[in-house]
């Protein structure tokens, strides 16, 4: 019988041999008919120096040598040297139509030439037209829109509205969730990585219905039992609301167990609470099969929050609710200087039109499903891939050093990202342990892009 030391040597030698075999055969990036403009701005080193001196020290970056990205077109980005990269992260699931989509750019430019900003104290058609179009994308009586500048602001407002409407203070969110970094949303966020030691009152974190790492696997009823116990033992029996993502983005592309949301919504509504769907990352056709993530679970929330994909990179967010719930903000004067300004709402309306005209939701379903199947093929080949999950163009690949123990491969994923960047692919990472590839490309990603992405990841993992 081969001794453990010998077996380790063989495994190590096999990995080195595999790496040697693949280094000479870097896959060719799909052809793309675009020549970036000449760049004569400051170098990456100069920008890094200014950033270190003048910007917040809390900012961080990917890669040992950060990239200076100077141009974008569709699903590709270009650095200061004109090198092209396949973008599989889309600015954290934000660029849905593709970088610098001409229809969106033209709409913003046309509005900027006519009127950049006034105030909602005057009438302007841009905000009303976009609100009408946005409401048409939502089910039931969800048709009153409040515009914000970000997803954090949208979730803050949704939590405020739930508390005002119900007269209760307690909010239930899920462990491993991320809902923002302001006062209320930091309370709803349930990862120590994103929380400061400040007052965060009135939030209870339920056991996360995580099919991969969760205590109860995919058993939705057992997870929901925890929601009921929070209501019974942690509150007065009445709650303000329940906030959740259908797929946790920052948490590592974690899909909520099937059947969980309908049961959780029932428990919360029986306790007088409102149900808030955080669609900041999953919304706007990213999941492919539906326009919104919550629709994949067959539920209708009381409040929906959104940002990121809503504007293809514009600072824009929104809260959509029913006319009845919306009335709570008339008790005082609620105001947002820039929320719903003409520039952003003109761009947002253009985004909706592009999504429909180019059938990007259908593309997210078809190409996303194809990409997921190919990633599962990689899982069979590479022991380090513990899980492949998600839907559409919101996919996660979790790396582990031991499949049985699910030991997070924290360092390995960083090395793999460096290798992938060197071969021309940019991808995100996340999850509580920072060991999950977050694959959230622009919705114009093609099958050729998917093939290139998988081939590059295959080589990168072979080098570990």
Q: What is the pLDDT of residues 90-110, one digit of tens each?
A: 999 999 999 999 999 999 999
Region 11-34 average pLDDT: 64
What CA–CA distance (Å, rounded) separates 397 from 390?
A: 9
Rounded Cα–Cα distance for residues 277 and 246 (Å): 8
Structure tokens at 134: 């946005």
Q: pTM to 2 decimals?
A: 0.93
**pLDDT mean over 54-77:** 95
pLDDT at 14 over 60: no
pLDDT band at 3 (very low <50, low <70, confident <90, very high): very low
The confidence score (pLDDT) of residue 12 equals 44
Give the pLDDT of residue 339: 94
* pLDDT category of residue 431 using cuts at 50, 70 and 90: very high
Determine the pLDDT at residue 26: 85
- In sequence order, what are the residues at sequence separation of 6 or more whose Cβ sits closer than 8 angstroms to the Cβ of residue 197? none
298-326: pLDDT as tens digits: 999 999 999 999 999 999 999 999 999 99
Q: What is the mean pLDDT of residues 12-23?
A: 44
Q: How confident is the model at residue 13 (pLDDT cuts 50, 70, 90)?
A: very low
Report whether pLDDT(22) > 70. Answer: no
Of the listed ranges 265-269, 282-286, 335-339, 390-394, the one predicted with least confidence: 335-339
Per-residue pLDDT at 242 exceeds 90: yes
Q: Name every residue whose Cβ is closer than 8 Å to that of residue 267 and which is 6 or more positions away in sequence.
A: 224, 227, 228, 231
Give the pLDDT band (50/70/90) at residue 126: very high
Cα-based angle 47, 48, 49 (whole degrees, multiple of 5): 90
- Helical residues (DSSP H) of 150-219, grouped into ranges: 151-166, 183-188
Contacts 24+ apart (CB under 8 A), 9-16: 15/462, 15/464
Q: How confident is the model at residue 335 (pLDDT cuts 50, 70, 90)?
A: confident
Cα-based angle 74, 77, 82 (whole degrees, multiple of 5): 125
- pLDDT tens digits, 337-386: 999 999 999 999 999 999 999 999 999 999 999 999 999 999 999 999 99
pLDDT at 25: 76
Run of H or E including 381: helix 360-381
């Amino acid at each position: 019988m081969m001794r453990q030391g010998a077996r380790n040597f063989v495994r190590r030698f096999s990995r080195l041999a595999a790496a040697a075999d693949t280094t000479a055969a870097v896959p060719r990036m799909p052809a793309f008919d675009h020549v970036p403009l000449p760049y004569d701005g400051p170098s990456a080193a100069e920008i890094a120096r200014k950033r270190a001196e003048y910007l917040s020290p809390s900012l961080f970056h990917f890669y040992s040598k950060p990239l200076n990205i100077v141009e974008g077109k569709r699903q590709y980005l270009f650095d200061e040297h004109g090198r092209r990269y396949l973008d599989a992260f889309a600015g954290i699931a934000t660029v849905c139509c593709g970088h610098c989509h001409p229809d969106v750019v033209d709409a913003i430019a046309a509005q900027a030439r006519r009127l950049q900003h006034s105030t909602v104290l005057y009438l302007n058609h841009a905000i009303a037209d976009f609100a009408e179009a946005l409401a048409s994308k939502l089910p039931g009586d969800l048709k009153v829109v409040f515009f914000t500048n970000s997803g954090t602001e949208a979730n803050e407002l949704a939590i405020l509205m739930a508390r005002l409407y119900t007269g209760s203070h307690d909010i239930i969110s899920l462990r491993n969730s991320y809902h923002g970094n302001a006062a209320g949303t930091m309370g709803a966020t349930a990862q120590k990585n994103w929380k400061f030691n400040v007052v965060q009152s009135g939030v209870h974190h339920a056991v996360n219905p995580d099919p991969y790492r969760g205590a109860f696997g995919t058993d939705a009823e057992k997870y929901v039992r925890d929601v009921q116990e929070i209501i019974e033992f942690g509150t007065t029996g009445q709650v303000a609301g329940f906030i959740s993502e259908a797929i946790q983005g920052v948490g590592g592309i974690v899909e909520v167990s099937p059947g969980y949301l309908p049961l959780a919504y029932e428990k919360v509504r029986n306790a007088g609470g409102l149900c808030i769907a955080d669609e900041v990352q999953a919304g706007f056709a990213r999941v492919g099969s539906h326009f919104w993530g919550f629709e994949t679970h067959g539920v209708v929330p009381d409040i929906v929050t959104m940002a990121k994909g809503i504007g293809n990179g514009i600072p824009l967010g929104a809260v959509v609710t029913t006319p009845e719930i919306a009335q709570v903000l008339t008790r005082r004067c609620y105001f947002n200087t820039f929320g719903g300004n003409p520039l952003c709402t003109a761009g947002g309306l253009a985004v909706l039109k592009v999504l429909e005209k180019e059938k990007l939701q259908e593309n997210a379903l078809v190409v996303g499903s194809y990409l997921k199947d190919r990633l599962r093929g990689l899982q069979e080949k590479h022991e380090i891939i513990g899980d492949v999950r998600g839907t559409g163009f919101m996919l996660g690949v979790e790396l582990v050093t031991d499949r049985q123990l699910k030991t997070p491969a924290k360092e390995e994923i960083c090395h793999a990202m460096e290798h992938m960047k060197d071969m021309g692919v940019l991808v995100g990472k996340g999850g509580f342990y920072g060991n999950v590839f977050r694959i959230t490309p622009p919705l114009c990603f093609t099958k050729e892009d998917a093939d290139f992405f998988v081939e590059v990841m295959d080589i990168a993992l072979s080098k570990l």
